[in-house]
Chain A
Amino acid sequence: MSILASGTTDAAPLALSEAPPQSAPRLWRRLLRHNSAVAGMILLGFLVLASLIGPLLFRSDPTAQDLSLAFLPRSAAHPLGTDDLGRDELVRLFFGARYTLSLALAAVALGLVVGVPLGAVSGYFGGWVDLLVQRVVDVMLAFPSILLAISLVAALGVGLRNVIVSVAIVAMPGFIRLVRASALSIREAPYVEAARALGVPSWRILLRHVVPNSLGPLIVQASLQLGGAILVAAGLGFLGLGVQQPTPEWGAMLGFSHTYIFSDPGLLTYPGLCICGAVLAFNLLGDGLRDALDPRMK
């Protein structure tokens, strides 16, 4: 998709040019000078805050139905009105932020946990392992990402766990490619050769040299993939193939409001705005991180 693939291509040259390791404070300073990074961090901070504090402010159940309260307009009691089943829209959006953010984090984390070791082993050892892993990656990349997610959910069944697994599988090829490129670039480097000559075991070289070498591009890629994961997961929810009702997930909320497009267009404005804002936050942050980590940028 690809927004997911875009990160791969852009980050690849970074992995190859051996970036000097950057100290965290220096990275911070560069990020804070970067307009889009700051915008992304503010947006993201706002979302995290909303997901943590929002549900505490309104102690109402996001799934409790009361048909006598359906389709209420905006009011003091219901700042964004109520939906078709009389549930407070704002409360559902707050809880939705929890689902959306934690779902994307879990999926990308799973993608990293599986993708990084596969990429490192594939690039470092080469040979038939590399060949096998790369052919599998080719096949994964042959599916448009939302299609791969849809197919997996269609086969595995809907629900939170399967959505996380599907989105993680979609995010994986990008991580594998990236770490592999980095491993290939330093496999013959003198300090790695020296480590080998000293008898350092392979797993330790992978852990101490190969993975840290790809850390910069990995952070960029992970940020962009978080945006992509939100898009794909909400897309599944929108189609009715993701997290199921009555869970207040943004994509599913948008999908159900589709029916009321003529009578109550507000119901599809808010969740859409939230999804777009969350994706925008990670994309802006990813752009900022890429520039801040790029040794060519002054």
Chain B
Amino acid sequence: MLSYIARRVLIAIPTLFGVATVIFALVHLQGGDPARVIAGANATPEDVDRIRHQLGLDQPLLVQYLIFMGNLLRGNLGTSVRSGQPVFNEIASRAPYTVELAVISTILAVAIGVFLGVVAATNHDNPIDLAISSFSVFGVSMPVYWLGLLLIILFAVNLHVLPAAGANQPTGFILPSLTLAFFSIGFIARQTRSAMLEVLDLDFVRTARAKGADRPTVLVKHALRNALLPIITVIGLQFGTLLGGAILTETIYAWPGLGRLLVDSIFARDFPVVQGTVFVFAAALIFVNLFTDLLYAYVDPRIRYD
């Protein structure tokens, strides 16, 4: 087991390295002079020179790359052009808001999604299944940015029960979390339904029924436990969408998380912050995928570790 964990972690390292390289390349992809782009249209040549020197853009490309990677290894993500603060501090102050949204929506999505999936599977091909399946495909097709606006109109503009934006009020997290969870609810419900349908057809479930085990026991102890493996994979798979959705959701609700920091920094051409935020998002996704892989191996005794 330990060597399996070690190998999985080792595979993640070149990916992280590749991600860092892509992020370094982003600044140089645009052709033209990055210092001029960052400085903006109204900058004097002195400003451009100052920024070029400040960001080390006057060095040869290879030197810049090595410095970038070296700094990254030491946890140094550079300095924000806009605020003059270390990028690391900016990210650290915003990250808890995004983590809060991600954790709440994941819990919501797993609870509701698995429940809906099980109910749909046990009502296979009757109106309840049809209703849940339609809701699920609707859930995965709904643009998160539109759902967010609709929820604001309903709960903030018409009903006046929840705040439309911001993290200042204690109920402020409710609408963004719901918005973010919607896709995952549909996605998890779909996968749970098909995983359950497959398991419910198997011999051991029929045996359990035949020997007189009651319905809830068969469903939870026999069927759901065995359907859990594909569900774990799905929770890892939807996490990428969840992170991407957070960028849009935070923009709609003026939620002060990493997604909003990213979008604001793009418009402000604050490239060090853009690079840092993108890196943190990608690293989080790599980490969660690694974690679900390991969890999968831990839960499924059939997977061999060598």
CA gap between A268 and B157 in the complex, in Å: 14
Q: Is the CB of B141 within 8 A of A1?
A: no
Stretch from B109-117, B206-214, B215-223, B243-251 that touches the partner = B243-251
CA gap between A280 and B141 in the complex, in Å: 5
CA gap between A130 and B149 in the complex, in Å: 44
CA gap between A248 and B267 in the complex, in Å: 22
Q: Is the CB of B29 within 8 A of A145?
A: no
Q: Is the CB of B152 within 8 A of A155?
A: no
CA gap between A5 and B191 in the complex, in Å: 13
Q: Does B169 contact A (CB under 8 A)?
A: no
Interface residues of A in 117-136 (CB under 8 A from B): 135-136
- Closest residue of A by beta carbon distance from B23: A151
Stretch from B13-21, B56-64, B91-99 that touches the partner = B13-21
Q: Is the CB of B266 within 8 A of A146?
A: no
Q: Interface of chain A, helix or strand or loop or mixed?
A: helix
Q: Is the CB of B274 within 8 A of A154?
A: yes
Q: Is the CB of A147 within 8 A of B281?
A: yes
Q: Interface of chain B, helix or strand or loop or mixed?
A: helix
Q: Does B295 contact A (CB under 8 A)?
A: no
Q: Is the CB of A151 within 8 A of B26?
A: yes
Known A-B contacts A262-B157, A275-B146, A276-B142; the reply to A146 vs B248 at CB < 8 A is yes
Chain B nearest Cβ from A8, distance in angstroms: 9
Per-position contact with A for B254-291: 1 when CB-CB < 8 Å, else 0? Answer: 00000000110011000000100010011001100000
Which interface residue of B238, B240, B263 has the most chain A CB atoms within 10 A? B240
Q: Is the CB of B30 within 8 A of A235?
A: no
Q: Is the CB of B19 within 8 A of A2?
A: no
Q: Is the CB of B145 within 8 A of A235?
A: yes
Q: Is the CB of A144 within 8 A of B146?
A: no
- Closest residue of B by beta carbon distance from A224: B140
Enumerate chain B residues within 8 angstroms of A9, measured Cβ to Cβ. Answer: 233, 237
Interface residues of A in 262-298 (CB under 8 A from B): 262, 265, 268-269, 272, 275-276, 279-280, 283-284, 287
Interface residues of A in 1-42 (CB under 8 A from B): 1-3, 5-6, 9, 36
Q: Is the CB of A150 within 8 A of B149?
A: no
Q: Is the CB of A235 within 8 A of B143?
A: yes
CA gap between A145 and B244 in the complex, in Å: 7
- Closest residue of B by beta carbon distance from A154: B266
Known A-B contacts A1-B241, A155-B29, A258-B252; the reply to A147 vs B153 at CB < 8 A is no
Enumerate chain A residues within 8 angstroms of B282, measured Cβ to Cβ. Answer: 142-144, 147
Q: Is the CB of B15 within 8 A of A154?
A: no
Q: Does B294 contact A (CB under 8 A)?
A: no
Q: Which of B14, B27, B137 contacts A36 (CB under 8 A)?
A: B137
Q: Is the CB of A135 within 8 A of B14?
A: yes
Q: Does B187 contact A (CB under 8 A)?
A: yes
Enumerate chain A residues within 8 angstroms of B152, measured Cβ to Cβ. Answer: 261
Q: Does B67 contact A (CB under 8 A)?
A: no
Chain B nearest Cβ from A121, distance in angstroms: 20
Q: Is the CB of B238 within 8 A of A142?
A: no
Q: Is the CB of A147 within 8 A of B150?
A: no
Chain A nearest Cβ from B264, distance in angstroms: 11
Q: Is the CB of B145 within 8 A of A238?
A: yes
Q: Does B22 contact A (CB under 8 A)?
A: yes
- Closest residue of A by beta carbon distance from B134: A36
> Can you list 17 A-B pairs, Cβ within 8 angstroms, ordered by A?
A3-B140, A135-B14, A138-B14, A139-B21, A143-B278, A150-B263, A151-B274, A157-B30, A231-B143, A235-B143, A235-B144, A235-B145, A239-B248, A239-B251, A254-B145, A255-B145, A258-B149
Inter-chain pairs besides A150-B263, A241-B266, 15 sampled, C-beta below 8 Å? A2-B238, A5-B240, A135-B15, A138-B18, A139-B21, A144-B240, A145-B244, A251-B143, A254-B145, A254-B149, A261-B157, A268-B149, A268-B153, A272-B146, A283-B137
